[in-house]
Amino acid sequence: MRYFTLEIDAQQLRVGVKAGSGGQTPLLLFNGIGANLELLEPFTLSPEMADTEIITFDIPGTGGSPNPSKPYRFPGMAKMASRLLDQLSYGQVDVLGLSWGGALAQQYAKDHPDRCRRLVLAATSTGMIAVPPKLGVLLRMATPRRYLQTSYMQRIAPSIYGGRFRRDQKSITEHRKKVIAPSMMGYACQLFAGYGWTSLPWLRRIRQPTLIMSGDDDPLIPLANAKILHRLIRNSRLEIMPCGHLFMLTMAAQTAELVREFCAEQNHGVLRPSRAASGQTG
């Protein structure tokens, strides 16, 4: 992954681009709330994604991107992503969004349909109107404290991320070593972007072939939300991963293989059994 800084509409963005073989549509990737680019390296740098060109960026106020000059909403961030593609001379892309980034991916697919060929939604929901997590989980996610205090991250990761993090402290340690803490303003702006937002009124208008992935042990975004997305997005396929919220990291190879195969398909067929569902758990 090559990292560099660009200015888009007076906003400095730290951008990451990984070269591919040139034979596949590039993949635009939106990360989760407060998360820096390095946290997704198990997925972006996996051998399964070697042939796929990947474009991603730190949301303002996270990672290496400075704070935004003012609050923003998802449509504004989707427009910024489109202008980033313009500046990098990309045309049509596939789009993948994880968690908070999944909401942004839905917005991008709606607002820029000609530039979004296929859509991948990982561990995400329809926004404010959705099946909520338990109150304790929601309160722990309301601040960036887990990024700021390593001992706190170590303690609460099992309860908010589930899956492998419930039983493997080493995985939590390796995860937090890559953390670059977001600013308080940056985290607050990401929360504000999602406040009151929901995709429910227009999800049926999404026409891109869509792969929906969800962990079966996700305390933060319960599995029921993926089933709602699958029901409302007509041309969609659902894959249930035997893991928690961060299956893109703990099951990086299996997730990357699903994404690679989905994006390489010529026609969007019916739901097929997931390899991950019958293999290693995360």
Q: What is the CATH number of the domain that holds 50?
A: 3.40.50.1820
Give the pLDDT score at 171.
Answer: 92
What residues make up the domain containing 205? 2-131+182-270
- Residue 174 in domain: no
Does residue 52 form part of some domain?
Answer: yes
Active site residue 21: no
Residue 11: phi, psi to the nearest 5? -110, 125
Answer yes or no: is 147 within a domain: no
Per-residue pLDDT of 123-181, as tens digits, reads 999 999 999 999 999 999 999 999 999 899 999 999 999 999 999 999 999 999 999 99
pTM: 0.94
- Closest by alpha carbon to 9, among 86, 107, 80? 80
For residue 22, what pLDDT is reported?
79
Rounded Cα gap, residues 28 and 94, in angstroms: 6
Catalytic residue among 46, 65, 82, 99: 99
Q: Could you tell me how many residues make up the chain?
A: 282
Sequence-distant (6+) residues with CB within 8 A of 131 are 125, 222, 224, 225, 228
Please state the domain count of the chain: 1
